[in-house]
Homo-oligomer: A and B are copies of this chain.
Amino acid sequence: MFKRILIANRGEIAVRILKTCRRMGIETCVVHSTADKETLAVKLADVAICIGPGPAKGSYLNINNIIAAAELADVDAIHPGFGFLSENSHFAQVVRDCQIEFIGPLSESMEALGNKAKAKTLANKAGVPCVPGSTGPVSGQDEAIKIAREIGYPVLIKATAGGGGRGMRVAHNDASLVSGLIQAQREAEAAFGNADCIIEAFVQRARHIEIQIIGDKHGNVVSLGERDCSTQRRHQKLVEESPSPVITPEIRKNMGADAVKLAKAAGYYNAGTVEFIYDLERKKYFFLEMNTRIQVEHPVTEMVNDLDLIALMIKVAAGEPLPFKQEDIKPKGHAIEVRINAEDWQNNFSPAPGKISMYVAPSGKGIRVDSHCYAGYTIPPHYDSMIAKLIVHGTDRADALRLLEQALSEYYLEGVKTTIGFHQRLIRDPRFVNNEVTTKWVDDVFMKQ
């Protein structure tokens, strides 16, 4: 097993990884920017090394400086967390070339699955159902119109390199397709340096459901069940839960099997998430994309399966075989995660960084809070606005919602605006309670009422 791991990330996930390392008896080296000197992970780390200035480009995205820190601290492995360099196959390769283990999949698997068009091709080959549409980037307007007419409007235009809702457009006819394609390409070029877009059937009433998988270096891949992340605002997940309250056991089983199939097709190991869109009308699911890293919402899966995904990632990276088989995975109860962000949710969710003057997180049976914040901590303006992830685990969904309502009411935080009030209102909405939510509901209905 590794002796010392470098955590190439910040915020709550850095603390999350650090705690598991400590539990496993592994030393930690936390790298950080000058803006993050006061973050909790830096305070808790065995070694903390400043790698650059506040803006991520010079620090958390600075491969040279991270590798330099890794050699200085003499670490065995690097955990990339999520975001930043976590899905950068070049970084993974550089790390491995330095004889340091990258805690994640092979660079080749990341490349095969990280690009949406490539991933879709692979999924099609592996027999995993995909949304009907172009199998690769469209060459231009004419091809786009031809494909759109074949699969029927409305269609979705998506940047192949995109993510988080950027470079996405819905078109309802030829005219909006042409203008949407131009806009999406322009946006994708600006955001990702790659203008390629694909076109596919647009699912009107969709749930976002994803499968957590984990694989070892011995060819074993296991599905750890699904997370339903349909409550989104502008394609940003707000609430995640498991199990999904809208799918049947059969669909759940097929989704899991398909996710494993896709991962095996890519020679995938370590943790990954296969995202599906579930069409509420057709009651069918389609492969969306794969995230080749740990995700923000992984605690939901940990709670229902009573396991530590970060520990599993570390173990399989060290070459250990998975300690369970597919038939051992039997999720229990219902878990829900909400993201507490420093945002003014009543003012278009605008980021509200600043100093947290008072901070008491809820606690108790079935309540879990993953956070790097504390009273006196100043949320720097350079990064995302996440304060904490609040996760509850109840016997069933109603029980989990009760716990969540209590936990939110016990969250005592002063100094910055947060999304706590949003979640309190959301979870009392009968449509949320009764699972009538689609991925568009927050934008189209909830925020407009």
Contact = CB atoms under 8 A, between A and B. Distances in A.
A371 to B, nearest CB: 9
Interface in A29-53: 40, 43-44
A325 interface: no
Interface stretch (A106-114, A146-154, A404-412): A404-412
A376 B358 contact: yes
A406 B308 CA distance: 15
A237 interface: no
B374 A360 contact: yes
A201 to B, nearest CB: 42
A310 to B, nearest CB: 11
A19 interface: yes
Interface residues of A, number: 26
Interface stretch (A185-193, A342-350, A362-370): A362-370
A286 interface: no
A125 interface: no
Nearest to A393: B365
A427 B351 CA distance: 45
A330 interface: no
Contact of A22 (B23, B359, B410): B410
Interface in A153-211: none
Nearest to A306: B365
A377 to B, nearest CB: 9
Contacts of A43: 412
A40 B412 contact: yes
A1 interface: no
A368 B376 contact: no
A375 interface: yes
Contact of A412 (B44, B308, B406): B44
A254 interface: no
A365 B306 CA distance: 9
Contacts of A359: 374-375
A363 B19 CA distance: 9
A410 B374 contact: no
A357 interface: yes
A212 to B, nearest CB: 17
Nearest to A360: B374
A365 B360 CA distance: 18
Interface string A375-401: 110000000000000000000000000
B363 A369 contact: yes
A22 B406 CA distance: 7
Given A358-B374, A375-B374, A376-B358, A409 B363 contact: no
26 contacts: A19-B364, A19-B406, A19-B410, A22-B406, A22-B409, A22-B410, A23-B364, A23-B402, A23-B406, A44-B410, A44-B412, A306-B365, A308-B365, A357-B376, A358-B374, A358-B375, A358-B376, A359-B374, A359-B375, A360-B374, A361-B363, A363-B369, A365-B368, A374-B412, A375-B375, A376-B376
Given A40-B360, A357-B376, A363-B363, 19 more contacts: A19-B364, A22-B410, A23-B402, A23-B406, A40-B412, A43-B412, A308-B365, A358-B374, A358-B375, A358-B376, A359-B374, A359-B375, A361-B363, A363-B368, A364-B368, A374-B375, A374-B412, A375-B375, A375-B376
Interface of A: 19, 22-23, 40, 43-44, 306, 308, 357-361, 363-365, 368-369, 374-376, 402, 406, 409-410, 412
Q: Which 9 A-B pairs have the closest CB atoms?
A: A375-B375, A360-B374, A375-B376, A23-B406, A22-B406, A374-B375, A19-B364, A40-B360, A43-B412
